[in-house]
Amino acid sequence: MRTKEPSTTLIFIRHGSTDFPEDRIYIGDNGPNLNKEGRLQASRLGEWLTGEDIAAVLVSPCARTIETATPVVKKLELEYKVMNELKERGFGIWEGLTFKEIEDRYPDGLSRWKSDPIHYTPEDGESIVDLQKRISSIVPYAIQEYKGKRIVIVTHMGPVRVAVAQALQIPLMNYRYLQIPPGSATRIDYGVTAANLVYLGAIPGGNRP
């Protein structure tokens, strides 16, 4: 039997819902604000985390993540710390476009992305490998800075996916198989020799069937 190790708990939260079209890539670092449902999701997350002895809240600098973190830190009586490393993957010249528009304007790039989705980098953007390197720097920082404690990280779907893939040693090629709904929480306990996924994409009040 494995001996239970002391661990540091990271609770990754994906920002709440927005009205941005699902088939269009977010624009820049800021992007849209939360919609009514997103604000409700953020409020529920704050209630859900109350009493959990959270030591810190780290947040991506985007409007939608800060809006999600605001009711959380209010309930926890903490201040959030903005971390640029927690931003969503940058898509460069593809940002703001639908996939149909990308197909029309950049057919070669789209074809290369489909054949190599983790290494292909749109002009002025990032690859999934680049994103994983960025998240790989923030996770050890959080574990070292808040060793043995619980912290909340409010970020985006991409960073949560690659963090889970890395923690569980899932091939990065399979990162898109991980579904992270808006307004959900994913908990990973990082021990000395192993990381344990405690829950994935949990929604306060219950996930839909």
What is the per-residue pLDDT for 28?
Answer: 67
**pLDDT confidence of residue 209:** 65
Q: Specify the pLDDT at position 2.
A: 55
* Domain edges within the chain: 8-202
Q: Quick one: pLDDT band at residue 1, thresholds 50, 70, 90?
A: very low
User: What per-residue confidence (pLDDT) applies to 4?
Assistant: 66
pLDDT tier at 6 (50, 70, 90 boundaries)? confident
- The pLDDT confidence band at residue 29, using thresholds 50, 70 and 90, is low
Residues designated catalytic: 15, 88
Give CATH for domain 8-202.
3.40.50.1240
Quick: pLDDT tens for 173-189: 999 999 999 999 999 99
Mean pLDDT, residues 100-110 taken together: 95
**pLDDT for the residue 85:** 95
- Over the stretch 30-66, which tens digit does the pLDDT of each residue have? 779 999 999 999 999 999 999 999 999 999 999 999 9
Kindly state the average pLDDT of the residues 112-131.
95
Highest mean pLDDT among 4-13, 26-35, 84-93: 84-93
Average pLDDT, integer, range 92-114:
94
Per-residue tokens: 181: 């709904």
Please check the confidence at residue 203 and state whether its pLDDT lies above 90. Answer: yes
Per-chain mean pLDDT for the chain: 93
Tell me the pTM.
0.94
**DSSP-assigned letters across all residues of the chain:** -PPPPP-EEEEEEE---BSS-TTBPPPTTT-PPB-HHHHHHHHHHHHHHTTS-EEEEEE-SSHHHHHHHHHHHHHHT--EEE-GGGSPPP-GGGTT-BHHHHHHH-HHHHHHHHHSTTT---TTS--HHHHHHHHHHHHHHHHHHTTTSEEEEEE-HHHHHHHHHHHTT--GGGGGG----TT-EEEEEE-SS-EEEEEEEE-TT----
